[in-house]
Amino acid sequence: MSLGLKIYLANARRAGARALQDQQAHGNTAQKRLARPAGQLIWLHASNAEETSPVQELIRALASERDDISFLVTTPENTPVDLRFQDSCEQPCIHLTAPPDTPQQVAEFLGHWNPTISVWAGSTLRPALLVETHDRNIPMVMVDARCRAQIEGRKRWKTGMIFALLALFDRILVGKPEVVLRLIRQGANPDKTEVCGLLEEGATTLYCDDKDRDEMAARLAARPIWLAMKTVDGEESITAAAHRAVSRLSHRLMLVISPMESTCGDALAESLTNDGWLVAQRSKGQDPDEHIQIFIADTPDELGLWLRLAPVCFIGNSLIKGGKGCSPFEASALGSAILHGPFVESYRTGYARLDIAGAAREVRDAADLATNLQELLAPDIAAAMAHAGWAKSTSGAEAVDHTVGLILETLAKAEDI
């Protein structure tokens, strides 16, 4: 152990002792904890906000391979995490703030949760947490390392500390080839460090009944359609205004609106009808005949159908201030060109990837939406965007598969001990 690491842990121990004294002075010694799920527990730590999406992707993939494991996710304090890890799988999945990096509080945390394996996403390090995990013989795997390692909360790198900490990991999976040499120079074991690509968020392909798709495609009779999906209150009027503008040049164009809440279909149909639109509603068993201008797809679990039929989609919860966005990867995985508003905070990294790749475009208002929609009605432009989106949404699949395989292999070895 390096001198710098020894000094860090000694200072952290004193800080932990002071924290315990403060708790005792204020009568806060008894802290309630959630119960640990029974059986094998995979603990995943997202070392920064950027790693929350890859961690969620890993949970989805791991849960599809093993239905007898549970998950614990930790993130640094004040990390803006809007993703709901519990939605990634049906198995128990708990999200907590990581404990303060003091030996006492780390020991309490690990003693209670007793994880079977530790998966550290990213290369920002917490010394006390890593040392105690290693001392308890919990296998440690670093994944999705995107840059050189650093100590959390420290602006200056402590070379000796980082060297000692990287040596604790059983395996290190690096996202980018140029990062490997940097980590090895910082102390990573060359024999345990490899490049496997970035764990980028993707999406499972939404289900669609082929018979339903064929029947709806025949009913539409090759009419051009576009989709406004997961819209929230206020966005339907914006998409309708854009639709009106584009329909002046494309008279047979039909807008399909799949609102965020399917229960608002009746009110939406009434509002649009009062505005002069010819409207049909899926939940009422109505069909989109050749006269229908706006079709409300307000039945659950049919988004996969409409994404297969519409070459262009607008993804909602993104145009009204206060929106947080919705994942773009359901649409990109099914080959749809994507339009979205500026308010996508919960999925900013994913949208940035698709925007840069030319698979998605940001729009600001009805006029902007109409302009971009009109351009994307050209099949070659929409197809190029769709192909770019499909490539991006599937680019991380190989990296995820490799990482999941390594984690499951390490987990199996831990179970045999």
For the segment 341-370, what is each residue's pLDDT rounded down to a tens digit?
999 987 887 898 899 999 999 999 999 999
CB neighbours of 210 closer than 8 A, spacing ≥ 6?
none
Q: Is the dihedral of CA 187, 192, 196, 202 positive or negative?
A: negative
Do 214 and 196 belong to one domain?
A: no
Give the best-scoring range by mean pLDDT among 86-100, 149-163, 278-292: 278-292
Do 273 and 386 belong to one domain?
A: yes
175 falls within a domain: yes
Average pLDDT over residues 361-386: 96
Q: Is the dihedral of CA 152, 147, 164, 407 positive or negative?
A: positive
Confidence of residue 160 (pLDDT cuts 50, 70, 90): confident
29 falls within a domain: no
- Number of structural domains (the chain) is 2
Average pLDDT over residues 185-209: 84
Do 186 and 313 belong to one domain?
A: no
23 falls within a domain: no
Checking if the pLDDT of 282 tops 90, the result is yes
Do 172 and 294 belong to one domain?
A: no
Checking if the pLDDT of 32 tops 70, the result is no
Confidence of residue 283 (pLDDT cuts 50, 70, 90): very high
24 falls within a domain: no
Do 10 and 107 belong to one domain?
A: yes
Do 262 and 390 belong to one domain?
A: yes
pLDDT of 244 reads 97
Q: What is the Cα–Cα distance from 399 to 397, expressed in whole angstroms?
A: 5
Structure token pair of residue 112: 């209670």
For the segment 70-89, what is each residue's pLDDT rounded down to a tens digit?
999 999 987 766 555 666 67
pLDDT of 395 reads 67
Mean pLDDT for the chain?
Answer: 89
185 falls within a domain: yes
CATH number at residue 227: 3.40.50.2000
pLDDT of 222 reads 81
22 falls within a domain: no
Do 81 and 117 belong to one domain?
A: yes
Do 88 and 218 belong to one domain?
A: no
**With pLDDT > 70 as the criterion, what percentage of the chain qualifies?**
92
Average pLDDT over residues 108-132: 95
pLDDT of 45 reads 96
For the segment 199-255, what is each residue's pLDDT rounded down to a tens digit?
876 656 788 999 999 999 999 988 999 999 999 999 999 999 999 999 999 989 999
Domain residue limits at 281: 210-394
pLDDT of 86 reads 63
Average pLDDT over residues 140-163: 84
27 falls within a domain: no
CB crowding 110-122: b at 16 or more within 10 Å, else e: beebebbbbbbbb
pLDDT of 17 reads 87
Do 375 and 232 belong to one domain?
A: yes
CATH number at residue 402: 3.40.50.11720
Confidence of residue 309 (pLDDT cuts 50, 70, 90): very high
Average pLDDT over residues 252-271: 95
Is the pLDDT higher at 239 or at 411? 239
CA angle at residue 273 from 272 to 279, to 5 degrees? 85
Average pLDDT over residues 366-390: 94
pLDDT of 381 reads 95
Contact criterion met (CB below 8 Å) for 117 and 42: yes
111 falls within a domain: yes
Q: How many CB atoms lie within 10 A of CB 402?
A: 16
Do 215 and 182 belong to one domain?
A: no
Q: What is the Cα–Cα distance from 63 to 268, expressed in whole angstroms?
A: 37
Do 306 and 236 belong to one domain?
A: yes
User: Would you give the distance in Å from CA 125 to the centre of its chain?
Assistant: 22
pTM here?
Answer: 0.69
Q: What is the Cα–Cα distance from 144 to 197, expressed in whole angstroms?
A: 7
pLDDT of 281 reads 97
pLDDT of 207 reads 87
Which of the residue ranges 138-142, 276-280, 353-357, 411-415 would you say has the lowest mean pLDDT?
A: 411-415
Which of the residue ranges 59-68, 140-149, 195-204 would you say has the lowest mean pLDDT?
A: 195-204
Do 7 and 72 belong to one domain?
A: yes
Average pLDDT over residues 298-326: 94
pLDDT of 60 reads 86
| CA neighbours closer than 13 Å in the CB half-sphere of residue 308 | 17
